[in-house]
Amino acid sequence: MADVSTKKTGAKGALKDLVPCWIIIFALCYMLFLFEPLMMYATNRDDFWFDFGIMIIPTLKIFAMFFLGASAVFTGLYFLCRKFSKTPYRVVLIVLFGVFLALYIQGNFLSAHLPALDGSEIDWSAYTSDNIITLIILAVLTAALIFAAVKLGLEGFVKYAAGVSLAVFVMLNVSLVTTAARNDLFAKKNNFISTSEGFNGASSEKNFFIFMVDSQSATEFTEVISSEEFAGAFDDFTYYPDTLSTYAYTRDSVPFVLSGHINKNEEDFGKYSERALNDSSLFKELEKRGSDIYLYDSELAWYGEKKVDIENDPSFDDVELKLGEYFTNEMRYVWFKYLPYRFKKVSDIENLDFGQTVEKFRWGNDALHSEFNNVPALSLTSGEQFRFIHAEGAHVPLDMDENFNRIGNCTYIQKTTATAKLIAEFIERLKKNGVYDNSAVVIMADHGYQPLNGAPDNYILSRFNPILLIKGVNEKHDFAISDKPVSYFDLPQAYTDLLDGKQSAELFPEAEYPRTRTVIWYEIYKEEHMVEYATDGKATEWDKFRETGNVYDLVG
């Protein structure tokens, strides 16, 4: 009987020692691997193709993996130390608690100056003041922990640490519940998923292609295609370098280009995009003509009911999230958010790239270059067909040379050259398959380019000057450059004119000077505040842009 009593006492003692450990580990893992991913999704809901119902299971799996793994390690450490002395175990536990508090402070109170994740390279050396603040807080926190450990004793401090961890857990939940309610965390999206189905197809009768490259400014593109390398590559096209996009970012540019409906923050972006695409004048015109519609865009936000029949959009319920890629991207964001500024670089993050977590269309220049060359033949069918293809283009990071090699540290001109080559390959493939003449083709960018991190004061304006090249069905002439002041507000009518058989020179009849054109600007990740600008000058005359006084703020 004495042996049994001793075992019970030992088991109770072990449980008493381990419960505070498990509480601290639980709070830490909850913060990093459950709270933060859910907050990331809730505050950027429209930037992800998945919804809460799809992400919660893999998120819980990652949380459970870390919690159970860490618990097993510390439990093993406890039993190892108990044979000799519990002091090393308690010291390690106090260090773990200190790490938890440091990460909590860093991720929730010292993250206000985090750089924009727009894909551009982040200069972490520019955060000296943030590093100093972090060092000061860490020094104060370390001194406080040492003082408390001496004052309370190791065993008493461990109990105190468990209580503080529970308090932090409660505070995190209050923040999460508030954010979830404000951002409709649990809403089902039924988002658009763009597969590659039909990508290597075309109609033998009539085609309409919009080939959109991302972040391609007209100024650098003009410089690149002026070289001998591109002589004749864009014959039959008319180039409109004096073009203004309506938005400076992809998020609003793509649904506007496809629909003609402008976003003025009268509703949240997801609802706007859904309404705009369902009511698209282009799609209505295509459906009236009996055209098959294919959309190849890896991040197009189109939730809920789709009133347009898209050929390459599978059922949202049949799509599976790839756990490995999701885990990698989640970890990169967590380290970006919670590590001190001095160590954030290890996250190797430049954007929220969760597009790789599902099997769908890949927009990379290198992927499309490989597709164009490895699958040169198109599968031809009858009827009218429309294809919208959104490619990487000159989007940051600037990691691609002019030969499609991902080597990093390239220039914008190099990536522009790769973009021009990709466009030329796309055109050449149409020619080789005998569908070039029966196709109307629009080559465009969603917006122009300027880096957001460390950009000059007037950078907002240069992002509104994208490329635009157009050819109609059976159009034949040397490469032409038009000085017409075009606005993306003109596109819906241009689409209809192209479908009616008009040539590029017949488009934009009212685009003549004097003309006032408007654009809408907002700071990245501050989309709730939009400001309208107007200009009566050329797209590159930044000094002529003026605020109109129209401001569009998201209410609610």
Average pLDDT, the chain: 90
Tally of domains in the chain: 2
- 419 and 301 inside one domain: yes
> With pLDDT > 70 as the criterion, what percentage of the chain qualifies?
94
Residue 455's pLDDT is what?
52
- 231 and 163 inside one domain: no
Confidence band of 359 (pLDDT split at 50, 70, 90): low
Among 150, 183, 216, where does a domain finish?
183
* 202: phi then psi, degrees, rounded to nearest 5: -165, 170
Residue where the block lists tokens 């992400």: 55
Residue where the block lists tokens 């391609």: 216
Q: Determine the average pLDDT of the residues in 263-292.
A: 94
Classify burial at 113, counting beta carbons within 10 Å of its beta carbon; exposed 0-12, middle 13-18, buried 19 or more. Answer: exposed
Residue 312's pLDDT is what?
84
- 11 and 64 inside one domain: yes
- Domain-located, residue 114: yes
**pLDDT tens per residue across span 19-75:** 999 999 999 999 999 999 999 999 888 778 788 988 999 999 999 999 999 999 999
531: enclosing H helix or E strand:
strand 529-535
Give the relative orientation of helices 412-432 and 218-225 as an angle to the nearest 10 degrees: 70
- Domain-located, residue 348: no
80: enclosing H helix or E strand:
helix 52-82
- 220 and 177 inside one domain: no
Confidence band of 422 (pLDDT split at 50, 70, 90): very high
> With pLDDT > 90 as the criterion, what percentage of the chain qualifies?
67
Strand spans (E) along 493-528: 517-521
**pLDDT tens per residue across span 98-146:** 999 999 999 999 888 888 776 677 888 888 898 899 999 999 999 999 9
- 214 and 146 inside one domain: no
**pLDDT tens per residue across span 457-511:** 555 677 899 999 999 999 999 999 999 999 999 999 999 999 999 999 999 999 9
Q: Determine the average pLDDT of the residues in 312-317.
A: 72
- Domain-located, residue 512: no
Strand spans (E) along 105-227: 201-203, 206-213
- 310 and 370 inside one domain: yes
- Domain-located, residue 530: no
Confidence band of 7 (pLDDT split at 50, 70, 90): very low
- 249 and 131 inside one domain: no
Among 469, 486, 503, where does a domain finish?
503
Say if residue 411's pLDDT is above 60.
yes
Confidence band of 299 (pLDDT split at 50, 70, 90): confident
Residue 356's pLDDT is what?
67
**pLDDT tens per residue across span 177-213:** 999 998 888 888 778 888 888 999 999 999 999 999 9
- Domain-located, residue 113: yes
Among 456, 472, 503, where does a domain finish?
503
When mean pLDDT is compared over 48-62, 380-394, 404-418, the highest value belongs to 380-394
- 142 and 219 inside one domain: no
Q: Tell me, what CATH number does 247's domain have?
A: 3.40.720.10
How many CB atoms are closer than 10 A to CB 285?
17
**Reduced DSSP (H G I as helix, E B as strand, rest coil) percent helix, strand, coil of the chain, to 5:** 50, 15, 35
- Domain-located, residue 537: no
- 292 and 371 inside one domain: yes
- Domain-located, residue 308: yes
- 254 and 119 inside one domain: no
- Domain-located, residue 263: yes
Say if residue 148's pLDDT is above 50.
yes
Residue 183's pLDDT is what?
86
- 116 and 31 inside one domain: yes
The range of the structural domain enclosing residue 265 comes to: 206-319+360-503
Residue 320's pLDDT is what?
74
- 216 and 292 inside one domain: yes
